[in-house]
Amino acid sequence: MRSAIIEKTAKDLPVAPNWPDSAFAEARFTWQAAASALSGLPGGGLNLAHEAVDRHAAGPRAQHPALRFLERNGSRRELSYLQLSRQTNRFANVLKQLGVAPGERLFVLCNRGLELYLGVLGGLKNGCVVSPLFSAFGPEPLETRLRLGECSVLLTSEALYRKKVAGLRDKLPLLKHVLLYDETGGHARLDGTLDLGDLLAAASEDFAIAATTADTPSLLHFTSGTTGTPKGALHVHGAALTHYITGKYALDLHPDDIYWCSADPGWVTGTSYGILAPLLLGVTSVVDCGDFDAERWYGILEKERITVWYTAPTAIRMLMKAGPELARRHFHPQLRFVASVGEPLNPEAVWWGKEVLGLPIHDNWWQTETGGIMIANIPVMPIKPGSMGKPLPGVEAAIVQHGEDGSLTLLDDEQVGELALKQPWPGMFRTYLGQEERYRRCFVGDWYLSGDLARRDADGYYWFIGRSDDVIKSAGHLIGPFEVESTLMEHSAVAEAAVIGKPDPLLGETVKAFVSLKRGREASEALHDELIGHARKRLGAAVAPKELEFLASLPRTRSGKLMRRLLKARELGLPEGDTSTLENPL
Ligand code: ATP
Ligand code: MG
């Protein structure tokens, strides 16, 4: 029987959780005290790569596997912390010998594989500001980001370079060095580029890390572009503490975990939690170099004996589509914690986890800007399916109303308003590149305004309502698309749903739903009426969609987020705006 709450206590968990109880809003945590978990650079200062790799390489975890690559050809390759330390030192030496100074921008355009890790971690060791990019981007989005980010060094594969970057070289006058590798293991010899293999072979395994501090810029991440043109959020080395603490409490990483983050490194989750957090905690991280395939993914959970898995609603949706039989053919008793981020996680998906995987999915919330997880369902907490959870230790969240006059009111439980976070915290972004004014507008007094609408219930759980741009105002009601979409997804025919507001002279806006169907289900007038009837029964006529259209699939960003603004623009015949992050652009 499905209930409104999935009860849990520490006693139900297979290992003692890092955070022992669900009362974490209390003052038992300070960032200052937490900072003692990091070692700092030998001469003072802080460097993300030192904390993630070298401090383990110099201690008892030196021989512990840091990374386990599942290569596209089916082979596996493991690297210990010591090996990773030496290899990233080589890459840092390559940069140094080329005269790349701390602060210069290194862009990493790589498929998942060793080079990606060498680039990000070696770049951080040399003091570069590193920006990982989606390897699936076409030339245009690449050019925009490389130019805005003032890229001076690019690490990429020969194939990606030929296809996407070679034609842009004239437009990138600041790009001094292109380091190429051949994904099949050969040499990459192309005019105007350097062969990474040659350079690494000649470089030393010893490197003295650049003198970075907690305030030195470290990573440049572009937002997903769900609501408009992607913004370049600049982060600092001090984010190491946020990654460490959230890896420890929100993902509950323990030293012997085998962890898998299935997010692409082209967006912030793939870097913060696919590269840095697991290494900061000294665990073994599985890196799947292949593409999504439901059967193979279940096989990874089983064969690699994954204990903690961090994924996204879009991947869960694809697994749900593949059907429960496939899941039940795989056995993964060691899997103890599954978390998801990036989009609202429909209650349906939380329950699917419990019923099909044997574990409920734990939703958590954060943004490119926050640098790390802020609100989460941690292992010890009862889950309220559909809620993002509670603010983590060290995070003070509030629901606020921001007046035109610059005033800010903190709202009570159950009131809908903008989700805000008390600043500062160690992982927060330090600017939007080239948009200082826009950055400043995100802050009012002590608070950072997220642009997301939410409410908090009397138990302190936060519920996502929608992005402020997506929320619908109809006949005086504030309608969050997520609630309507979740209700439509409860219907057995519906695979995906997206809801927008359409201008209406009488009501302000009316609700229109777009729906894609599960395999084997056909669109028909009868199903159309049935879905509208289902939504009316659950939500009431004022909130249920007035119109409903079937689509083969819904437009999503490459990180799997629904682009409601695109559906709206298409519906209203308006310009589509920035579609650089659209998946499978038509
Ligand atoms: P852009 O800012 O360019 O429009 P984006 O906001 O999608 O893109 P990200 O920083 O990758 O870029 O995504 C953060 C956003 O994703 C959050 O502000 C929120 O709207 C959404 N999000 C993330 N996690 C959750 C979650 N658990 N539940 C609901 N929404 C989430
Ligand atoms: Mg955003």
Residue 448 Cβ < 6 Å to ligand 1? no
Domain assignment present for 3:
no
Residue 385 Cβ < 6 Å to ligand 1? no
Which residues hold their Cβ within 5 A of ligand 2, which is an ion?
223
Integer angstrom CA distances of residue 550 from 462, 521, 579:
31, 11, 22
Residues 396 and 478 reside in one and the same domain: no
Domain assignment present for 580:
no
Pairwise CA distance, residues 362 & 364, whole Å? 7
Domain boundary among 456, 486, 505: 456
Domain assignment present for 240:
yes
pLDDT at residue 27 above 80?
A: no
Residue 224 per-residue DSSP state: -
Residue 365 Cβ < 6 Å to ligand 1? yes
99: Cβ contacts below 8 Å, ≥ 6 apart:
none
Q: What is the pLDDT of residue 228?
A: 85
Domain boundary among 407, 428, 456: 456
pLDDT at residue 476 above 70?
A: yes
pLDDT at residue 409 above 50?
A: yes
pLDDT digits (tens, 9 = 90+) for 303-347: 999 999 999 998 998 899 888 999 999 999 999 999 999 999 999
pLDDT at residue 405 above 80?
A: yes
Atom of ligand 1 nearest to the CA of 268: 11
Exposure on the CB side of residue 512, measured as CA atoms within 13 A: 18
Angle between helices 114-125 and 81-97 (to 10 degrees): 60
Residue 549 sits in a domain whose CATH number is 3.30.300.30
Q: What is the pLDDT of residue 510?
A: 94
Residues 343 and 436 reside in one and the same domain: yes
Q: What is the pLDDT of residue 586?
A: 37
Share of the chain above pLDDT 90, in %: 84
pLDDT digits (tens, 9 = 90+) for 418-471: 999 999 999 999 999 999 999 999 999 999 999 999 999 999 999 999 998 898
pLDDT digits (tens, 9 = 90+) for 509-541: 999 999 999 989 999 999 999 999 999 999 989
User: What is the phi/psi pair of residue 337, to 5°?
Assistant: -150, 130
Pairwise CA distance, residues 409 & 504, whole Å? 30
Which single residue is written with the structure tokens 């030393």?
Answer: 204
Q: What is the pLDDT of residue 59?
A: 96
Q: What is the pLDDT of residue 437?
A: 96
Residue 344 Cβ < 6 Å to ligand 1? yes
Domain boundary among 456, 480, 512: 456
Residues 558 and 426 reside in one and the same domain: no
Q: What is the pLDDT of residue 184?
A: 84
Domain assignment present for 200:
yes
Residue 464 Cβ < 6 Å to ligand 1? yes
How many domains does the structure of the chain reveal?
Answer: 2
Domain assignment present for 540:
yes
Mean of the pLDDT values across residues 368-393?
A: 96
Closest residue to atom 27 of ligand 1, CA basis: 365
Mean pLDDT of the chain: 94
Residues 344 and 395 reside in one and the same domain: yes
Residues 430 and 483 reside in one and the same domain: no
Pairwise CA distance, residues 452 & 82, whole Å? 42
Residues 309 and 213 reside in one and the same domain: yes
Question: Domain span at residue 515?
Answer: 469-572
Question: How many Å lie between the centroid of ligand 2 and the Cα of residue 259?
Answer: 27
Domain assignment present for 313:
yes
Atom of ligand 1 nearest to the CA of 466: 20
Question: How many Å lie between the centroid of ligand 2 and the Cα of residue 286?
Answer: 28
Tell me: cis bond preceding 20? Omega within 30 of 0 counts. no
Q: How many CB atoms lie within 10 A of CB 145?
A: 22
Residues 408 and 485 reside in one and the same domain: no
Residues 390 and 511 reside in one and the same domain: no
Pairwise CA distance, residues 546 & 501, whole Å? 10
DSSP state string for 477-509: EEE-HHHHHHHHHTSTTEEEEEEEEEEETTTEE
Residues 179 and 319 reside in one and the same domain: yes
337-340, strands of its sheet edge to edge: 76-80, 65-70, 284-288, 258-261, 308-311, 337-340, 362-365, 375-376, 390-391
Residue 227 Cβ < 6 Å to ligand 1? yes
Question: How many Å lie between the centroid of ligand 2 and the Cα of residue 342?
Answer: 10
Q: What is the CA radius of gyration of the chain?
A: 24
Closest CA to 342 of 317, 372, 313, 374: 313
Domain assignment present for 480:
yes
Residues 210 and 341 reside in one and the same domain: yes
8: Cβ contacts below 8 Å, ≥ 6 apart:
379, 380, 381, 382, 383
Pairwise CA distance, residues 570 & 413, whole Å? 37
Of 26-40, 169-183, 190-204, 303-317, the one with minimum mean pLDDT is 26-40
Q: What is the pLDDT of residue 392?
A: 95
Residue 342 Cβ < 6 Å to ligand 1? yes
Q: Is 330 exposed, middle or buried (0-12, 13-18, 19+ CB in 10 A)?
A: middle
Share of the chain above pLDDT 70, in %: 99
Pairwise CA distance, residues 41 & 55, whole Å? 9
Residues 446 and 475 reside in one and the same domain: no
Pairwise CA distance, residues 198 & 380, whole Å? 50
Question: How many Å lie between the centroid of ligand 2 and the Cα of residue 277?
Answer: 21
Question: How many Å lie between the centroid of ligand 1 and the Cα of residue 119?
Answer: 26
Pairwise CA distance, residues 268 & 271, whole Å? 5
Mean of the pLDDT values across residues 154-165?
A: 96
Domain assignment present for 396:
yes
Closest residue to atom 5 of ligand 1, CA basis: 224
Classify the C-alpha dihedral 553-559-562-564 as positive or negative: negative
Question: Residue 467 in 3-state DSSP?
Answer: strand
Q: What is the pLDDT of residue 24?
A: 66
Classify the C-alpha dihedral 18-349-272-436 as positive or negative: negative
Residue 226 Cβ < 6 Å to ligand 1? yes
Which of the listed residues 145, 226, 378, 387 should we mutate to test ligand 1's pocket, taking the one with most ligand atoms within 8 A of CB? 226
pLDDT digits (tens, 9 = 90+) for 44-78: 999 999 999 999 999 999 999 999 999 999 999 99
Residues 437 and 486 reside in one and the same domain: no
Question: How many Å lie between the centroid of ligand 2 and the Cα of residue 368?
Answer: 7
Residue 356 sits in a domain whose CATH number is 3.40.50.12780
pLDDT at residue 569 above 70?
A: yes
